[in-house]
A and B are shown apart, each in its own frame.
Chain A
Amino acid sequence: MFTFDLLANAIVAGVLLGGFYTAVSLGLTIAFGRLDVVNIAHPAFVILGSYTAYMVNAAFGVDPVLAGLAFTPAFFAIGVGIYRVYHASFERRGDESLRGLAFFFGLMFIVEVALILVYGVDYRLVDAPYIGATVSFGFVGVPMRMLVPFALALIMTIALQQYFVRTFMGRAIMAVSQDRLALQLMGADPTRVKQLAFGIALATASLAGAMLIVIGPVEPSMGRLYIGRVFAIVVLGGMGSVGGTLIAALLLGVIESLTATFYGPSWAPAVAFGFLLFALAVRPQGLFGR
């Protein structure tokens, strides 16, 4: 039952979804792509961001996106703290691959189980005036709950891109894992640069989490569904390229949306996995390799 309407709607929905995936992936683009820190707990922190937005929204009626923005400093601080522990315990000892991974796996697990303990396994959602509204462009209907996160994600992507290109620290972050010499010439301490960058990476989780709960209800173990997605996006996006992340995320969003429309939503995780395998096996250097 293929119709042009269906196709157009699926593509628009996919682009919007892809925009949101960009927001979820950018933190990992920085941590994994630029710092070589394999933070598999990132999606779990995104879910934590959803719950902080939910908590503030439920208690004070604050707009979830504003709440997400308000919590970025807290997430930044958590990120700095995590990086310090990670650096002292694993990076400096050269023990990232086994124990470092187990460390982040443990963190992911702690965040998830702690959320279950506090909020239970039920789905939670937020209130905002734009949730539920839909704008129509001809025969394509665009729900605001998708459009708002999409717009925010674009702003976030552009802001980060500008930061990395235009500022001193931003350029230091882009150089930190590849060009130690350039970094030394710039007079920047790699550990401090990485600490700052990891803080920024985690701060994005607060905003992405707010977007996630605007899009739909959230439960604690949802983060796991995103691990395959975000890693596929980061790898395919060229390991550390902000623009590449955006394109890869849009691609995945559209493919997932088309699959869900024409084959049924239960196959969406398989699409993400196929995407990941493609990213890993076929083009390890990514479509937009640095």
Chain B
Amino acid sequence: MAAKAFWPVAIALILAAIGLTQLLANEYYFFAAYVVLQFVVLATAWNILGGYTGYVNFGSAAFFAVGAYCSVALIKAFDAPLPVLILAAGAVSGLIGLATGYLTLRLKGVYFAIATLALAIVLETFITNWDFVGGASGTFVLRPKEVWLFDSYIKFLFAVMMVLAVAAVGIARSIERSKLGRGLAAIRDDEVAAECMGVPTLRLKLLATTISGTLMGVAGAPYPYYVTYLDPLSAFNLSYAVNAIAMPMIGGTMTWLGPVVGALLLGTAQQVATVTISSELNLLIVGVMLVGFVILAPEGIVGLVRKTIRRGRRR
């Protein structure tokens, strides 16, 4: 995609999405597309820390669930409107990202990965024991009855998620092309050399964990309205953690396009497959594809396509 075309295309996509909600009657498509777009946000968020900076987050599900439960708490307490939910969820998840990073990033990267795994379990324990948001048995969330411009709430949520996805990808793309992006890439390539070349590595890493955590929380914020019934088991579902890693790895971690391609491909495939095969088998396939891609195609689909194009040009 040409550099200048990105934002016009992005805005066109949002408008087209809103247009579709007015034209297409069948809610199912929006129901399914919401999940795919949600994965675009999650995969993009993961990639800012994982792909750009080289720090693996295994706890994406936790950041997502914190966003969702932040919404539940605010709905129950103040009946807060959706934009407030999104901002608050982003802020809380971002803070958790910052705290996790602060505690572990001074050490080798693998400790960060382990800490995120453990963090997911502890946050789940905490939410399970928090009765105000439903505890272990979960809670019902009532959708607002009417919403301006849209004839169904699902269509509205789909449009919201479209905006969030475009925003997340836009943020990732801006980072990639900025001084910050080069700093993060330097950290990923060689942290000691980066520090010695003037890159404030700790500060940049904390920035990356915060941005990544924020976006994951944002992805989770509308989720209670989407499912209308939320329990810890579904919010902390392992499938989020796995997909958040698998999608960028399969799409390609070096550019913003990789997670988008991975999320669209894997997300759509899963939406189609859940109808036909069991969700466990579905996840098994994601796991096998993740392992297969990291072994055989470390640069992902985007990397493979680029290589093929380059080879074609040489001929």
**A interface residues (Cβ-Cβ under 8 A, vs B):** 38, 40, 85, 89-90, 93, 95, 97-99, 101-103, 105-107, 109-110, 112-114, 116-117, 221, 224-225, 227-228, 231, 235, 266-267, 269-270, 272-273, 276-277, 280-281, 284
Q: A112-B238, A221-B238, A281-B104 are in contact. List 8 more A-B contacts (CB 8 A).
A: A89-B298, A105-B56, A109-B242, A227-B114, A273-B119, A273-B121, A276-B115, A280-B114
- Please tell me which one of the listed residues B103, B107, B114, B287 contacts residue A109 in the complex, with CB atoms under 8 A apart: B287
Interface residues of B (CB under 8 A from A): 50-51, 54, 56, 58, 103-104, 107, 109-111, 113-115, 117-119, 121-122, 125-126, 128-129, 188, 238, 242, 245-246, 249, 253, 278, 280-281, 283-284, 286-288, 290-291, 294-295, 298
Contacts of A90 in B (CB 8 A): 294
Q: Which residue of A lies closest to B124 (CB)?
A: A269
Shortest B136–chain A CB gap in Å is: 10
Bound-state Cα–Cα, A97 to B53, Å: 11
Which residue of A97, A227, A276, A277 is within 8 Å of B54 (Cβ)? A97
Chain B contact surface mostly: helix
Closest chain A residue to B284 by CB distance? A113
Q: Are B50 and A98 in contact (CB under 8 A)?
A: yes
Q: A102-B290, A276-B115 are in contact. Are A113 and B280 (CB under 8 A)?
A: yes
Q: Which residues of B contact A235 (CB under 8 A)?
A: 111
A117 touches B280 (CB 8 A): yes
Q: Are B281 and A269 in contact (CB under 8 A)?
A: no
Residues of B within 8 A of A270 (CB): 122, 125-126
What is the chain B residue whose CB lies nearest that of A227? B117
Q: Which residues of B contact A101 (CB under 8 A)?
A: 56, 110, 113
* Contact B54–A98 (Cβ < 8 Å): yes
**B242 adjacent to A224 (CB under 8 Å):** no
* Interface of A: prevailing SS: helix
Pairs of residues from A and B, 7 with the lowest C-beta to C-beta distance, nearest first: A228-B118, A106-B291, A106-B290, A109-B287, A273-B122, A110-B287, A99-B294
Chain A nearest CB: distance from B115 CB in Å?
6
In the complex, which residues of chain B have a beta carbon less than 8 angstroms from the beta carbon of A266?
125, 128-129
Chain A nearest Cβ from B7, distance in angstroms: 30
Chain A neighbourhood of B291, CB < 8 A = 103, 106-107, 110
A residues near B286, Cβ cutoff 8 Å: 109
Nearest CB of A to B114, in Å: 5
Q: How far is the CA of A277 from the CA of B109 in the complex (A)?
A: 15
Beta-carbon contact of A276 and B114 below 8 Å: yes
- A83 CB → nearest B CB, Å: 13
Do B56 and A280 touch across chains, with their CB atoms under 8 A apart? no
Give the complex CA separation of A37 and B287 in angstroms.
20
Q: Which residue of A89, A116, A227, A272 contacts B280 across the interface (Cβ within 8 Å)? A: A116
Residues of A within 8 A of B121 (CB): 224-225, 227-228, 269, 273
Q: In the complex, what distance in Å separates the CA atom of A105 from the CA atom of B280? A: 16
Q: Are A117 and B284 in contact (CB under 8 A)?
A: yes
> Which of A103, A106, A235 has the most chain B CB atoms closer than 10 A to its own CB?
A106
Is A224 touching B117 in the complex (CB atoms < 8 A)? yes
Chain B residue at minimum C-beta to C-beta distance from A99: B294
- With a CB–CB cut-off of 8 A, which chain A residues contact B246? 106
Beta-carbon contact of B129 and A102 below 8 Å: no
Q: How far is the CA of A101 from the CA of B31 in the complex (A)?
A: 33
* A273 and B104 alpha carbons, distance in the complex (Å): 13
Cβ A98 vs Cβ B118 within 8 A: no
Taking CB as reference atom, which chain B residue is nearest A235? Answer: B111
Please name 24 pairs of A and B residues whose Cβ atoms are closer than 8 Å in the assembled complex, sorted by A: A38-B114, A89-B295, A90-B294, A97-B54, A98-B50, A102-B245, A102-B249, A102-B294, A103-B291, A105-B242, A106-B294, A110-B284, A110-B288, A110-B291, A112-B238, A113-B287, A224-B238, A225-B121, A227-B117, A231-B114, A266-B129, A267-B125, A280-B115, A281-B104
Cα distance A106–B249 in the bound complex, in angstroms: 11
Bound state CA distance, A107 and B246, in angstroms?
Answer: 12
| Interface pair B110/A276, CB less than 8 Å apart | no
Instruction: Point out the residues of chain A lying under 8 angstroms from B294, CB to CB.
Output: 89-90, 99, 102-103, 106
A40 touches B245 (CB 8 A): no
